[in-house]
Structure 1
């Protein structure tokens, strides 16, 4: 069944998201590993993605861990350096789908303020036909409720939707609802899938 809409995750699908790589560069792999062992930074980020205020959440965590205070604040103060660069071919695929008349939605674990910041650097984040941003929705993937909200708000469900995400748990939760899914491991494979589904031509997908 040809999908009626395509849904893109953002982190590691449209924009590279590799905090460990950033910290390896800034403080070295050994200190980075020690910090990530001492501080649940991904849990902190989940709180932001669930609707917590970006600045308040990161800075409060920094105060809770004074030995890592400056490094934790980097998660906020230098966040755009972690969320980079854009995956240019994925952006082209998104725009090619829209040019062919296929609606494109986002479904992303992203904070309210951090998304607004990202959109100032990556204007394509304002180009989706519909935005589904976890910070505004109050729930993060792979909670089934976030997928249910997409279905309710779009009137689409099951095989009507083709969803690309880099995380297997997020894909599995969507597949459990009958969505068509693509486990993203690079734009080349995603381009091939969109061609195979009849959504893009080979030329469109370049």
Structure 2
């Protein structure tokens, strides 16, 4: 078994909850209309470009030019962002904190817009407790691109073969493996604990 010396956490849906439907259930009450809005206007592909570094004002202007009648709803996405991240996952945070307290080398690698991540750090102070974070919106790279894993390893002096990455997204897990890291898909704190026992991080 290869010794694990570095532990890298994803953030969204691993450490903190994220769901755009939370504010939009109020903003667009009709479920069918809301689904259409997310499928056609404020889509995943549109949002990921903010994670890559696009400015929110530019992102909003792009959609408003195409859907001027939806301007209020488009602007609501950024305006009500904090409602989309209402709480942390206590079980995962407890595990995360215990790893740091035990002296493990813990960092974070996240697809996140730069400005909303600043807000997340204010909302969830535990995000400030690792020795480093790579934020996609700050470096202009996004998972699952191997380049962002290489960037993180270089910036924080990680040996890829001795690094384990934790992410809820299977493509991101595969991206980490393609970069030479070990990686596990997050589904629950209990499963993560078992995974860390399996690789010798926990006993």
User: Which residue, 61, 69, 72 being the options, matches 2:71?
Assistant: 69
Q: Residue 62 of structure 1: CA displacement?
A: 4.8
User: Which residue, 165, 168, 171 being the options, matches 2:170?
Assistant: 168
1:97 match: 99
2:32 match: 30
Specify whether residues 77 and 40 from structure 1 end up closer, same or farther in structure 2 by C-alpha distance, changes over 3 A only.
Answer: closer
**Cα distance per residue 1:99-156 (max 9 Å; x no partner):** 1110111100011111001111111111121111111111111111101101212232
2:19 match: 18
1:186 match: 188
CA distance in 1, matches of 2:137, 2:125: 19
4+ residue stretches of structure 1 with deviation over 3 A?
A: none
CA distance in 1, matches of 2:131, 2:94: 15
Q: CA RMSD in A?
A: 1.7
1:122 match: 124
Q: Which runs of 5+ in 1 are unaligned?
A: 202-206
Taking structure 1 as the reference length, the TM-score comes to 0.89
User: Which residue, 50, 53, 65 being the options, matches 1:51?
Assistant: 53
Taking structure 2 as the reference length, the TM-score comes to 0.90
CA distance in 1, matches of 2:43, 2:4: 36
Deviates more, 1:25-34 or 1:1-10: 25-34
Contact between 1:62 and 1:70, CA under 8 Å: does it hold in 2? Answer: no
Q: Residue 63 of structure 1: CA displacement?
A: 2.1
CA distance in 1, matches of 2:26, 2:90: 23
Q: Which runs of 5+ in 2 are unaligned?
A: none
**Cα distance per residue 1:48-72 (max 9 Å; x no partner):** 1111223x13432452222322222
**Cα distance per residue 1:41-99 (max 9 Å; x no partner):** 22222121111223x13432452222322222121111011123211111111110011
Secondary structure at the aligned position of 1:84 is classed as: coil
